Amino acid sequence: MSIKKVLEAWRYPLILLLSIGISGVGSWVYFIALNLIVLNITESALAVTGLYIIRALSTLFTNIWAGSLIDRLNKKYLMIALNIFQTVLIVLLPLFSSLGSIYCMVFFITIASSMYHPTSMTYITKLIPAEQRKRFNSLRSLLDSGAFVTGPAIAGMMFTIGTPNMAIYINGLALFISALITLVMPNVEASTQLEGVSERKLSFTLLKEDWRVVIRFSREYTHIMIVYFLFSAIVVLMTATDSLEAAFATQVLNLSEGEYGVLVSIAGVGVLIGSLANTMIVEKTPTSWLIGMGAMVISIGYLIFTSSNTFLVASVGFFLLSFATAFANTGFYTFYQNNIPVDVMGRIGSAYGFVEAFLIILFTAIFGFASEQLSIRFVVFSGSSIMLLVSLALFIFIVQPSKAKLNT
């Protein structure tokens, strides 16, 4: 294929990747700045923890009904509207000084971001041909890793030359630019109106019908559902373990704040190197192996980290788990796009996301409580061990030759 044809085929995917990259960097800047703003106002670590709870509750609330809207609205214009909605609220956020009002704003901002992910996933699936998805997802993982590394660095620079509020405005600008970029993207749907809006309003009856669609799909395609929930179980265990990561590093391994900072930097390097390696081998590696081996190496990395006694061993574990993240995510995104019908993708993504968000809240609370009653090392090591067992089950299940057509 000539360079001209390649550029033509990848024109819109590259524009979309630019939008995702800008938004990703902005999100990291916002995430760090918001924590500092709340900490400066309240001088309470508990108040910062409250942000995580508010975000999780908002995600739960949104995923109950969001899929029903996403599947019936034009994805391009919905993505633009969600970006602009977030931009307005984020720009207004520094004007509020009370904790309650900040929590309220964060709740609504999270509603928009929770809707944006399944909307963009459906849009990407419709825009990107099946033969380009794996390469696109590998590049997306590379951008995500770049955002993971550069976002905090930009936030730190903003705090040095300005204030956390300036970093908040930077994210608002990033989201607005992302909306403008999306504006030039093609409209992949014929209709821009809500399907059947005159006859069917969003209602409890409609939501019940849509949830039945999700349940019916799950029963009919059990292989897809099992892969999704095994992968989600790994994400849940990773999140619950990560909630105790800083405490484990500083209280159990007795690392200084500086050493812990280096550990986080090593994770950033691991993510970046893993993403680069992923882009090189992704075309020649089956999707099933990207998911299965990626999940296995992540779990092994967590097990090494949580069983370590020295900084060096902990660093090896951190690097491994970060390195493998790009492979697992690329494989899972591709599997999801190739196997979930686009006309129900919003509903399925939101419904499954609701279950995942609920389990994250539950297991994070269980891990936190257990660490107080037992020991941090026992809890994180147990979580990593369970994660490895789940990863092994996922690997064995997904590489079955009989399911090869679903896993390409």
DSSP E strand stretches across 6-150: none
Spatial separation of the C-alpha atoms in residues 49 and 260, rounded to whole Å: 20
**pLDDT (average), residues 385-393:** 93
Least confident of 131-140, 198-207, 365-374: 198-207
Rounded CA gap, 306 and 89, in Å?
39
Query: What's the rounded Cα separation, in Å, for the pair 177 and 24?
Result: 12
Over 90: is that where the pLDDT of 152 sits?
Answer: no
Of 155, 185, 215, which marks where a domain is finished? 185
Largest Cα–Cα distance in the chain?
Answer: 64
Inside any domain, residue 141: yes
Query: Are 241 and 151 part of one and the same domain?
Result: no
* Packing angle of the helix pair 164-183, 11-42 (nearest 10 deg): 160
Residue 45 has pLDDT above 70, yes or no: no
Tell me the C-alpha distance between 56 and 47, whole Å.
15
User: Both 252 and 357 in a single domain?
Assistant: yes
Task: Determine the residue type at 322.
Answer: S
User: Would you place residue 4 in the very low, low, confident or very high pLDDT band (cuts 50, 70, 90)?
Assistant: low
Q: Are residues 172 and 218 in the same domain?
A: no
Q: Which letter does DSSP use for residue 337 in this model?
A: H
Count: domains in the chain: 2
What pLDDT is stored for residue 231 in this prediction? 92
Residue 8 has pLDDT above 50, yes or no: yes
Instruction: Examine the domain organization and report whether 350 and 208 are in the same domain.
Output: yes
pLDDT at position 6 is 58
Residue 162 token pair = 């300005």
| 196 assigned to some structural domain | no
Residue 17 lies in a domain: yes
User: How far, in Å, CA of 388 to CA of 241, rounded?
Assistant: 13
Tell me: do 133 and 169 sit in the same domain: yes
List pLDDT tens digits, range 85-126: 988 988 888 888 788 888 888 889 888 888 888 888 888 888
- The mean pLDDT value for 133-137 works out to 80
Q: Is 340 helix (H, G, I), strand (E, B) or coil?
A: coil
**211 and 93 in one domain?**
no
What average pLDDT score do residues 301-317 get?
88
| Separation between Cα atoms, residue 187 and residue 184, nearest integer Å | 9
What are the distances in angstroms from CA 333 to CA 143, 207, 210, 214?
14, 26, 23, 19
If asked whether residues 220 and 155 sit together in one domain, one would say no
Give the pLDDT confidence score for residue 385 in this predicted structure.
92
Residue 129: helix, strand or coil by DSSP?
coil
Quickly tell me which residue has 């257990």 as its tokens.
370
Could you report the per-residue pLDDT of 18-41, keeping only the tens digit for each?
787 777 767 767 777 777 777 777
Model confidence at 275, in pLDDT bands (50, 70, 90)?
confident
Percent above pLDDT 90 for the chain: 7
Pair 295, 214 in one domain? yes
pTM as predicted = 0.81
The DSSP symbol for 201 reads -
391 has pLDDT over 90? yes
Q: Give the CA-trace dihedral at 29, 32, 37, 43, to 10 degrees.
A: -170
Q: What is the pLDDT of residue 186?
A: 85
17-56 CB burial, b ≥16 within 10 A, e <16: bebbbbbbbbbbbbbbbbbbbbeeeeeeeebeebbeebbb
So what's the pLDDT on residue 34?
78
320 and 226 in a common domain: yes
The CATH code of the domain that includes 284 is 1.20.1250.20
- Asked whether the predicted pLDDT for residue 192 surpasses 50, the reply is no
- Least confident span in 116-125, 137-146, 304-313: 137-146
Poorest-confidence range of 44-48, 107-111, 373-377?
Answer: 44-48
The string of pLDDT tens digits covering residues 59-87 is 888 888 888 888 888 888 888 999 899 88
Of residues 298 and 24, more confidence is placed in 298
Residue 197 included in any domain: no
- Residue 198: inside a domain: no
Whether residue 354 sits in one domain with residue 218:
yes
Region 12-17: mean pLDDT is 78
Residues 272 and 383 reside in one and the same domain: yes
User: Residue 156's pLDDT is what?
Assistant: 64
75 is written with which tokens?
């994805």
User: 19: domain range?
Assistant: 1-185
The answer to whether the CB of 395 falls within 8 A of the CB of 292 is yes
Q: Do the Cβ atoms of 338 and 288 come closer than 8 Å? A: no
- What digits encode the pLDDT tens for the residues 214-264? 888 888 888 888 898 999 999 989 888 877 777 778 778 887 767 777 777
Q: Could you tell me if residue 313 is inside a domain?
A: yes
**408 found inside a domain:** no
Alpha-carbon distance 295 to 300, whole Å?
9
Check whether residue 106 and residue 232 sit in a common domain.
Answer: no
Distance (Å, rounded) from C-alpha 290 to C-alpha 334?
10
